[in-house]
Amino acid sequence: MAHLLIMPRQGNTVESCIIVRWKAAEGQSVQSDQTVCEVETDKASFDVPAGASGFLLKILRPEGDDVPVLEPIAVIGERGEDWQAALGGAAPAAPSATATAASAGPAPARVAPAASATPPQAPVAAGVSAVSPRARKLAAAEGVDAPNLAGSGPGGRVIERDVTAALAGRPPLTAAAKAAVLAGAPAPAFGTALGGRAGLADLGSKAPSAPAETGNVFTETPLKGVRKLISERMRASLAGTAQLTFNGSAAAARLQALRARFKASDPALGLSEVTIGDLVLYAVSRVLPRFPNANATLENGALRVYERVHLALAVDTPRGLMVPVIRDADLLSLRQISAQAKRLAAACQAGNINPDELSGGTFTVSNLGAFGIESFTPVLYAPQVAILGVDAIMPRAASGPGGTVVLEQRIGLSITVDHQVIDGAPAARLLKAFADAIADIDLLLMA
């Protein structure tokens, strides 16, 4: 009997995956452990094995399709077998407008788009049952009429990304405008209030006419996957928080000396690969428990303070910014933090990070020191309420003996907090505590 290959569930938080590339063509012989396609979530990319040996009888969903998890994407069976029997005899659905299907034959040659197929879906009841709980919660908070959205989930169900897409098409609202939209007023298409937000005067407005073409050649690429997620999160972070940034620095002499000793140490000790960044992560993990309101998230008007430090670190990847989480960092040794940081960063770079390791952070560290950045304004990774930016180690003027001026190696630090829950003085004390811990990193390791 033919094997129905379904879109696998990649972690508990993933609702759908985009088919990036089919690595096998229709009619091609495949083995059960052979990768037949590459898929991408909003967080990482994954290879999908065939799951059964035989022939790839039919590709049901072409490249570019955003497929809900657990939906069929291909049929594998014996040559000549009726692939439609695996779908209960259902006819294939119309192809996606932007998709490109694989051709039949032994080689993965490209031909005209082939029809994709989707198994029959049970109809979803009208009203709230047609909207997922997460989508309903987000829609209620932002004043979106979720039941009237075009759902991309199974059976046309409206899921969270559909609400997010609707929000991306309108500007952020002032408090008064949001209250009016929640009460049933038409949502605006653009805003004329401060910061581009839409106020009461903009309700029901239509987008202005597009400017005339200049004749300049351009390439237009829709945002999707990780890039789209970053765009949505950064915009939501700036629109929904009161961000306040402080800049400072810490003496780096002991930090550099300790790093040099570790690098020259016996590899059997497991310390030779410890970096400056790892030492900073360790210092942060030990300081945060003394400032619980910074190891917290703000959601739906409630501050959630955490006992354990789930330390997130910003990682630059070819696909965009990713933020994996070192869980229980305050309980880990320096070697363990270093090993975890390297493992998570490598998985992000390779695109095979477990999606569950990209959520649940309580505080984030973003390190741009390797790029020579002396100071920057890190953006909150909402709903977290604080983030530490680590800058380059630079020579800076300092007071020496007898009133002289000397050059001292110092590492720059930039902290951004949500001023809704953290005032200026506590934020300044937190930054000073980080600086003191980093300056005396050797003593901290002995504590």
Residues classed as catalytic: 419, 423
Q: Which residue has the tokens 């890039």?
A: 227
Is residue 275 within 8 A of residue 338, CB to CB? The reply is: yes
CA distance 47 to 351: 10
Q: What is the 3-state secondary structure (H, E, C) of 133-201?
A: HHHHHHHHHHCCCHHHCCCCCHHHCECHHHHHHHHHCCCCECHHHHHHHHCCCCCCCCCCCHHHCECHH
The DSSP bridge pattern shows strands 3-6 and 35-40 to be unpaired
Q: Which residues contact 419 (CB under 8 A, 6 or more apart)?
A: 242, 243, 244
* Spatial CA neighbour of 10 closest among 326, 347, 315: 347
What tokens appear for 419 in the block?
């001023």
Tokens of 61: 């969903």
363-367 and 243-251 strand pairing? unpaired
26: DSSP letter = B
Cα–Cα distance measured from residue 331 to residue 286, given in angstroms and rounded to the nearest whole number: 9
**Cα(382)–Cα(243) distance, rounded to whole angstroms?**
11
Contact status, residue 408 vs residue 398, Cβ threshold 8 Å: yes
Encoding tokens for residue 80?
A: 């000549």
Residues in the chain: 447
The one-character DSSP state at 88 is T
What are the φ/ψ torsions at residue 268 (nearest 5 degrees)?
Answer: -65, -20
Q: CA–CA separation, 174 vs 143, rounded Å?
A: 12
DSSP-derived letter for residue 158 is B
